[in-house]
Each structure stands twice: as C-alpha cells, then as structure tokens.
Structure 1
Amino acid sequence: MTQNETPSPGHEGEATLESQLRDEIEALRAEIEQLRMDSLRERADLENQRKRVARDIDIARKFANERLLGELLPVFDSLDAGLVAADGHEGPLRDGLELTYRQLLKVAGEHGLAIVDPVGEPFDPEHHQAISQADPGQAEPGSVLQVFQKGYRLNERLLRPALVVVARHD
C-alpha cells in the first residue's frame, strides 16, 4: 500500500471493533472491581452485625436475672437484720438463719450478685449513698464508718448503693 492509498474498510472496522472490545473489557473490569468492593463491604457489615448481636446476647445473659435479684434484695436485708438481732443468741434458729443467708448469697453470687459493704473504705459516690456524717474518731476522714443498708452489684452494674455514714472532714 502506498501513501496515497486509503486503508481498506475492513482494517478500519477491525480497529473500531478492537477499540470497542477494549472499552467493554475495561467497563467489565471496573464492574467486577465494584462488585468485589461491595462484597467486601457487605462481609464487613455482616461481621460487625454478628459481633454486635453476640455482645447484645452476652449482655442480656449477664443481666437476665437483674429484676429477680433486685426483688430479692429485701429478703437479703431481712435475713441480715435477723442475724444482727440474733447476735449473741446461739442455737438452731440462728444457725438455720445463717445457713439460709449463706446459701442464698452463694446462689445469687453464682449469678453475678456481689455485696457492697464498705465499712472502713473511702466513700465512693458511685457505689455508696451517704445518709449522714459523724466524727471520725480513729477512722480516716471521708471513710465509711457504718453501713445502714448493704448495697449490691450485678456483674459490676450497681443494683442498689450502700447507705452509709461517712467520717466528717475536720
């Protein structure tokens, strides 16, 4: 073919077809890449949702007994008061009361309940409720001198603060 000759229409059509195929291949590659990214994003979303559901189930399991244990707190208080009243009186009634109290505490403890009984500890407004102040005597100022009512936590969540008397600061 010389310089003055024009390319045959077949060659021009092949070049156009080749260009169209390249463009289509690039478009398909871009679509595949977009689908791959969407798939990865959805996988990550599903994994995050799975973790969130597992965490929610764990929290629900930890605090499923919260209402029941909260309603049992007056029973603990009554048994505690009974033991204080029976102090110095030895006998089967006191022994039975103490055994019942320990068994109830053991079962509740196995379900995450813990007593907040802070005598001698520094006052902590997160876990204690001060109902009065008193002269410290030998105690450190700001420490708990007396507990009127024990507090309780369920798996580190406060169910009820301890009602306490705090040593006055001079």
Structure 2
Amino acid sequence: MTDQEHNDQVDTEAQSAPETEQPAEQAPNDAEALSAQVETLANALASAKEQTLRAQADAQNSRRRAEQDIEKAHKFGQEKLVADLLPVVDNLERALSSIDRESEANKPIIEGIELTLKSFTDSLARHQVVALNPAGEPFDPQLHQAMTMVDNPDVEPNTVIDVFQKGYTLHGRLVRPAMVVVAKG
C-alpha cells in the first residue's frame, strides 16, 4: 500500500468515526422527529378514515333517497290519471241517483250502470284508490272541503251532515277532497 492510499484510508476512517458518534448524539432528535412524524401520520389516517366513513354514509343516504323517490314515483305516478277518472265515477253515481228505479223498463239500465260502477270502483280499489264519504264524521280540513255551513241543532258543531262529492286518496295521499256541508256551532 502506498502512502497515499494509506492516508486516504486513514482519512476515510476518520471521516467514518465522527459519523458513528454523530448518530448517537442525534438519536434523541431523530426519535422525536420520528414520533412527531408517526403522530402526524396517525392523525392523517384518522382523518382519512373519518372522511371515508362520511363518504360511505353520504352514498348510502343518497341511495336510500333515490329508492324512496322511485317508490313514490311508482305509488303516485298514476295520481293524475286517477284524478282524471274520478269524474266518470261521479257521473255513474249521479246517473244511478237520478234514474227512476220504479220503472220496469229501467231495471236493465240500472243493473248495467251498477255493474259498470262496481267494476270501476273495484279497479280503483286494486290500485289503492280509496273513497272518502265522511257523512256523520267530524270535519277535517285536510280531507274535506266545506262548501257551506248549515245550522243543525240535532248534530254537533263541525260535523259533516251532507256530502256533495266524495273525496279520494291514493296510497293515503289526498287526490281530491270531499265536498261537504258542515253543521254550524
């Protein structure tokens, strides 16, 4: 080995020696830095987990809302059609009430209208359309439309005493209020 190589080797060892002593001096600083970094990463992980949970909950809520909207669309999508068909029921009922039931010539007509009305109302009932005929019940402004108020001492105040036109609900939602006469107090 030449002197130059020997000097280089000694320089290398000299440089190595302080480095081995230096980590021992920096060990507490490195441990603090590492623990701070671990704490920062732990906080970031907790924040990421919380954001993930919130995102999952938000997605689940959106899915549930969409399912409810679809269910309502299926239930109440036919509301306009039902509202358009209700005058047909009213007209069949009016025809039955205005026809002379004593005449033998009208018996087949009455029977035909009654069967048509029954078929129609059964079809509506299969689709959860329910008639409201509130005669004798207390007046409910959410289900009834008061056409007039009449003094009637035989009945309690705010009681429906006559029904001009039946009301109807579709799956519990009001399609048309019942038009009624209410007793005054």
TM bucket, shorter chain: 0.7 to 0.9
Partner of 1:92: 108
Find out whether 1:75 has 2:88 as its counterpart: yes
Partner of 1:11: 24
- Going by fraction, where is helix more abundant, 1 or 2? 2
In structure 1, what residue type is equivalent to 2:128?
A: G
One of 119, 127, 131 as aligned partner of 1:111? 127
Measured in 2, the distance between the counterparts of 1:137 and 1:34 equals 71
Cα RMSD between the aligned structures? 2.1
Q: Which structure 2 residue ranges, 5 or more long, are not aligned?
A: 1-19
Q: Which moved more, 1:100-109 or 1:19-28?
A: 19-28
In structure 2, what residue type is equivalent to 1:104?
A: F
In structure 1, what residue type is equivalent to 2:136?
A: G
Q: Is the 8 Å Cα contact of residues 117 and 162 (structure 1) preserved in structure 2?
A: yes
Q: Is the 8 Å Cα contact of residues 151 and 163 (structure 1) preserved in structure 2?
A: yes
What TM-score results when the alignment is normalised by the length of structure 1?
0.84
Partner of 1:3: none
Find out whether 1:167 has 2:183 as its counterpart: yes
Partner of 2:146: 130
Partner of 2:63: 50
Shift of residue 40 of structure 1?
1.1
Larger Rg: 2
Structure 1 SS opposite 2:148: strand
Measured in 2, the distance between the counterparts of 1:166 and 1:30 equals 68
Q: Is the 8 Å Cα contact of residues 62 and 112 (structure 1) preserved in structure 2?
A: no
Shift of residue 134 of structure 1?
3.1
Count how many residue pairs are aligned between Structure 1 and Structure 2. Answer: 163
Q: Which structure 1 residue ranges, 5 or more long, are not aligned?
A: 1-6
Q: Is the 8 Å Cα contact of residues 101 and 107 (structure 2) preserved in structure 1?
A: no
Shift of residue 125 of structure 1?
1.9
Structure 1 SS opposite 2:161: strand
Partner of 1:31: 44
Measured in 1, the distance between the counterparts of 2:153 and 2:39 equals 86
Shift of residue 99 of structure 1?
1.4
Q: Is the 8 Å Cα contact of residues 65 and 111 (structure 1) preserved in structure 2?
A: no
Shift of residue 66 of structure 1?
0.3
Measured in 1, the distance between the counterparts of 2:172 and 2:160 equals 20
Shift of residue 11 of structure 1?
0.7
Q: Which moved more, 1:64-73 or 1:118-127?
A: 118-127
Find out whether 1:65 has 2:78 as its counterpart: yes
